[in-house]
Chain A
């Protein structure tokens, strides 16, 4: 499967009369776009805002971040099974609007959405402060269940990104990248002398409102399977979850998956990147056992010499991470784990809920319990009082002057477990 990604750099977003991309500037007719998105009876009102890097702006509570993309050639459409009809994606050509994102806000669960600050200390902790964000504020009707609200806001965000992505279909990209993975036996034969690497991609599936979708299927209902890495670049996997903001993968991260991009970077040079095994993190022990058995079996079946395993979320998924590690290691395959930590505000507590002597290396995305003070902002898009309840915050987190004292857990993407973030470690 071979996919070209054409990057169209967006330098600015402006509201204007006609919706178009001209000279790298995205013009949006606000009324037209709101009308396009206003098809869900469960949503009372929709508003659009633009938040730019460096501005005195806070977005709270953030549900999802999505990159506008469009299929230019090849089968299927973006977000297959959810927005486009079910069809295999990952080949041909896709255009992406770079430097911008669609951000959805909504007080859905209340404690499991995040914050994006566009300036100040908080902005340093979220990768999304570097993007020009088109923020969609959705207010639901009075009587709505949380899961219905989640679905409505999820679909509006995906629809908005798809609608904007269409504008890039006929444009000449600023940059064109090519990614290719061959069918397994051919891929193995292409670089027979190099070590064979598989990526084990754990997806959040802890239950209602903690869901991820693959080709429209709720991930808690899958048994692990193999996908071509390029399928994720076309939105085959997307976020439907309201879990702690710091270490879930917003849809934008699935679309721009840093582990997959990095594995491609040295593919054919240092190792042979065979493909991706997707698996879940369910709340029944039998599911955890079955999925980790299946994951280890698939990795062995593919002939991997080494795997990278990334977790999404924390708590009981730590058990899935450890089970995957133990079972894959037991087959004589090297394992590198990627996770983050909940080691307490002083960093002295046990970092994960489970542990194991197996495994060859662990990479941490940082300690989510680290304290931070976010400055007051001139403009707040959304509901600032959500700070009292968001995981990482506490009653009193939002101070009278508008500043917020909380753990970095409440910042969207601050301790990414796939490395899509800004934290790093220094040796002294």
Chain B
């Protein structure tokens, strides 16, 4: 889980999930606490799904 996915590609990560922004990868100060919780929950859920997905090459899991 990372914001600057080109760096993830450079360093050789195989499953890459784009996040929000560098200072707040799993949060967003511009939305309410409740919305932020939903956002974080969904990101973690997608990360777990990505771990269970078969891949053959470096893959970015876009929305």
Contact = CB atoms under 8 A, between A and B. Distances in A.
User: A and B from one assembly?
Assistant: yes
Nearest to A323: B6
Contact of A283 (B3, B5, B10, B18): B3
B10 A285 contact: no
B10 A206 contact: no
Contacts of B5: 285
B10 A354 contact: yes
A355 B18 contact: no
Contacts, number: 32
B10 A316 contact: no
Nearest to B2: A285
Contacts of B23: 207, 283
Range class of the A interface residue count: 10 to 19
B4 interface: yes
Contact of B4 (A207, A288, A355, A356): A288
A284 interface: yes
Contacts of A323: 6
A319 interface: yes
B7 interface: yes
B44 interface: no
A407 B22 CA distance: 25
Contacts of A285: 3-5, 18
B21 A319 contact: no
Interface in A336-358: 353-356
Interface in B7-57: 7, 10, 18, 20-23
Range class of the B interface residue count: 10 to 19
A60 interface: no
A292 to B, nearest CB: 10
Contact of A354 (B3, B7, B18, B22): B7
Contacts of B21: 283-284
A322 interface: yes
Contacts of B22: 206, 283-284, 316
A322 B6 contact: yes
A330 B21 CA distance: 27
B3 A355 contact: no
Interface in A197-244: 206-207
Interface in A347-380: 353-356
A283 B18 CA distance: 13
Contacts of B7: 316, 318-319, 353-354
Contacts of A283: 3, 21-23
Nearest to B9: A354
Q: Which of A206, A283, A322, A355 has the most CB of B within 10 A?
A: A283
Q: Which of B6, B18, B20 has the most CB of A within 10 A?
A: B6
Contacts of A206: 22
Nearest to A350: B11
A101 to B, nearest CB: 32
Contacts of B4: 285, 288, 316, 319, 354
Contacts of A322: 6, 10
A283 B22 CA distance: 5
B3 A284 contact: yes
A284 B18 CA distance: 11
A415 to B, nearest CB: 21
Q: Which of A285, A316, A355 has the most CB of B within 10 A?
A: A285
Contacts of A207: 23
Contacts of A319: 4, 6-7
A285 B4 CA distance: 6
A285 B17 CA distance: 13
A283 B25 CA distance: 10
Closest 9 CB pairs of A and B: A283-B22, A319-B4, A354-B7, A283-B21, A284-B21, A354-B10, A316-B22, A319-B7, A316-B4
26 contacts: A206-B22, A207-B23, A283-B3, A283-B21, A283-B22, A283-B23, A284-B3, A284-B20, A284-B22, A285-B3, A285-B4, A285-B18, A316-B7, A316-B22, A318-B7, A319-B4, A319-B6, A319-B7, A322-B6, A323-B6, A353-B7, A354-B4, A354-B6, A354-B7, A354-B10, A356-B10
Given A316-B4, A319-B7, 11 more contacts: A283-B22, A283-B23, A284-B3, A284-B21, A285-B3, A285-B18, A288-B4, A316-B22, A322-B6, A354-B6, A354-B7
